[in-house]
Amino acid sequence: MIKRPSIETKINHERWLVSYSDFITLLFAFFVVMYSVSQVNEQKYQQLSETLSETFKTEDRIRPNESQNAQQVSRAADLKKMAAELSDVLADLIKDNKVTVEGNEQWVEIDVNANLIFSSGSADPSQEAEQVFTDVAKVLSDYDNRISVAGHTDNVPIKNAQFQDNWALSAARSVSVVNLLARHGVAQNRLSAVGYGEHQPVADNTSEEGKARNRRVVLRVAQTLAPPQVQSVDTLQTEEKPLSESEISQELENDSSSDGVEEADEQAIQPYKLKDGGLLFTSDPDSPRLQSEENRESK
């Protein structure tokens, strides 16, 4: 039996170079990626810088409005102080149970007996009403809160030439009070008027005392601020000034020159004898009808 010789295998001691080269390649790729990520895009950076600058400028422009709003809030915040001031100026009427002043953190309410400021069945304010609401307006004009004026009546029906029912009477009374407040310095954008008639009584209408309590005008000053007042723009009226002598002569020269141009442009209307014996009156010698007549004669 022939014995085969054993094959000798050589051991490669440099295989680690393959793994090493792979590792170096991956490490190189990693650093390339990290480097590219770390680079700042100058264009995007510029856009971001401009955006931030515009934002800060806008905030600077808004700050005056914010300060103005803060002033308005400070003027509208302390309703208890307002109630105390109203109670001071109306102290005598409050003592006589003709006026009541109540308030909390949400509103201040001034309840005025209608018999104090209006005659029976009338919406014309009395002289005492002028004095009452002059004093009230002095206090309210220092604030910017909304003011609602509500008129109320008893349940006795009314129908005359001026008012057809209690709704109309109560609405007219509230409007009269609104006009009084506006006339004495309260901004009109703060005011609103409403009439409830006999439908929101505070007492029983079966007694005269209850009816007297139901006939009232209620001013409620809210915590919320009134909207900004829109200023009306007056239309400009231009006054016609008399022309000077030089201007008059210039106008006359312009008129005469324009008339001369028009006369030169327009030719006089003349009669033209047609072949059939008729006459054609025209200012255009090149009229198609005249041309057709001339061509017919030449033929």
Q: What's the confidence (pLDDT) of residue 142?
A: 87
The yes-or-no verdict on residue 165 having pLDDT over 80 is: yes
Q: What is the mean pLDDT of residues 109-138?
A: 93
User: φ, ψ for residue 193 (rounded to 5)?
Assistant: -125, 145
Q: What's the confidence (pLDDT) of residue 68?
A: 56
Three-state secondary structure string covering 51-100: HHHHHHHHHHHHHHHHHHHHHHHHHHHCHHHHHHHHHHHCHHHHHCCCEE
How is residue 120 annotated by DSSP?
T
Residue 14's pLDDT band (cuts 50, 70, 90): confident
The yes-or-no verdict on residue 283 having pLDDT over 50 is: yes
Q: What's the confidence (pLDDT) of residue 213?
A: 93
Write out the two tokens for 172.
């007219």
Average pLDDT score over the chain: 78
185: left (phi over 0), alpha (psi -120 to 50) or beta: left
Distance between CA atoms of 30 and 104, rounded to whole angstroms? 70
Q: What is the mean pLDDT of residues 129-140?
A: 93
Q: What's the confidence (pLDDT) of residue 207?
A: 92
Q: In what order do the strands lie in the sheet with 107-113?
A: 99-103, 107-113, 216-225, 145-152, 191-197
For 21-49, what is each residue's pLDDT tens digit?
Answer: 888 998 888 888 887 766 656 666 677 67
The yes-or-no verdict on residue 13 having pLDDT over 60 is: yes
Give the helix ranges, DSSP H, for the chain.
16-38, 42-77, 79-89, 91-95, 114-117, 127-140, 166-183, 208-214, 245-265, 288-298
Longest dimension (CA), the chain: 153
Beta bridge partners of 113: 216
Q: Name the residue ranges covered by the structural domains of the chain.
A: 79-225, 266-299
The yes-or-no verdict on residue 166 having pLDDT over 90 is: yes
Beta bridge partners of 125: 118
Q: What's the confidence (pLDDT) of residue 262?
A: 47
Query: Between these two residues, 147 and 36, which has the higher pLDDT value?
Result: 147
Look-up of token digits 């934002």: 55
Tell me if 108 sits within 8 A of 86, measured CB to CB. yes
Q: Kindly calculate the radius of gyration of the chain based on its CA atoms and give it in whole angstroms.
A: 48
Q: Please state the separation of Cα 134 from the chain's center in Å.
A: 30
For 192-251, what is each residue's pLDDT tens digit?
Answer: 999 999 999 999 999 999 999 999 999 999 988 877 766 554 444 444 455 555 665 666
Look at residues 124, 47, 135 and name the one whose alpha carbon lies nearest to residue 93. 135
Q: What is the mean pLDDT of residues 273-286?
A: 62
Distance between CA atoms of 5 and 11, rounded to whole angstroms? 19
Give the containing element (helix H, strand E) for 224.
Answer: strand 216-225
Q: Does domain 79-225 have CATH number 3.30.70.20?
A: no
DSSP 179-194: HHHHHTT--GGGEEEE
Distance between CA atoms of 219 and 221, rounded to whole angstroms? 6
What does pTM read for this prediction? 0.54
The yes-or-no verdict on residue 292 having pLDDT over 80 is: no
Q: What is the mean pLDDT of residues 160-166?
A: 89
Look at residues 111, 112, 145 and name the one whose alpha carbon lies nearest to residue 128. 112
